[in-house]
Amino acid sequence: MIIDVKDLRKSFYQGQRQIEALKGISFRVPSNESLAVVGPSGSGKSTLMSLLAGLDTVTDGEIFFDQTGIHQMREKQLNTFRAKNIGIVFQQFHLMPHLSALENVALPLDILGRDHSQDQAQEMLERVGLGERVTHRPHQLSGGECQRVAIARASVTRPKVLLADEPSGNLDTATGRKVMDLLFQLVADQGVTLLLITHDEALAQRCQKQIHLVGGQLQ
């Protein structure tokens, strides 16, 4: 799935002051390729991720996934499109604390009404090395295990696009490396278009292309 971003802008107010988080950025990610968006804290990376995921609304500009403009969608239509086409991996994991690892991974399949969701979730957890931890809840798992559950959840529906926002940011170096090895392997196996948000230049180099975002603009 091709991602096509055209003159994207996002601004908001803090009191009387208008903040321009994104100042008209444009880029494309060809189908089945990986792109890293690199930049320091406050550069607009997470804002961009929220817009691409349809979790926030654009001030101006356009976002297309295979010529489908998500910036024009109403909430219900957008929720359905996202559930079917986009997987999201957050830095903070965002697992449901009252659900087991198996239930967390099965959740997007259940929302889509897919059959055999528990079996598919079990298979995905085994792929990420957590076949023995399916009954554990997030508080019983390490940070690296939680992120692997999050990756399994994002991948279990076989999305066309995977958005990853600083996926190793809360992990120590060794664990982060293992988690990213897993993420890139799943992307290769499933033929997914990957957009990776990171401040880590070395990690960005693992993607096929990189763009740099500074002060809400591409450099």
Residue at 92: amino acid letter: Q
User: What is the C-alpha to C-alpha distance for residues 186 and 90, in angstroms, rounded to an integer?
Assistant: 16
pTM above 0.85, yes or no: yes
**Helical H runs in 128-214?**
143-155, 173-190, 201-204
Nearest to 203 by CA among 20, 38, 22, 26: 38
Q: Tell me, what's the pLDDT at 167?
A: 87
User: What is the C-alpha to C-alpha distance for residues 69 and 42, in angstroms, rounded to an integer?
Assistant: 27
Residue at 70: amino acid letter: I
User: What is the C-alpha to C-alpha distance for residues 88 and 108, in angstroms, rounded to an integer?
Assistant: 11
Q: Name the stretches of the chain with pLDDT < 70.
A: none
The per-residue pLDDT for range 82-114, each reduced to its tens digit, is 989 999 998 888 999 999 999 999 999 998 999
- Of all residues in the chain, the percent with pLDDT exceeding 90 is 70
**Dihedral sign (CA 98, 99, 105, 106):** negative
DSSP class of 59: S
Q: Tell me, what's the pLDDT at 14?
A: 82
Q: Tell me, what's the pLDDT at 179?
A: 87
User: What is the C-alpha to C-alpha distance for residues 71 and 84, in angstroms, rounded to an integer?
Assistant: 17
Name every residue whose Cβ is closer than 8 Å to that of residue 191 and which is 6 or more positions away in sequence: 32
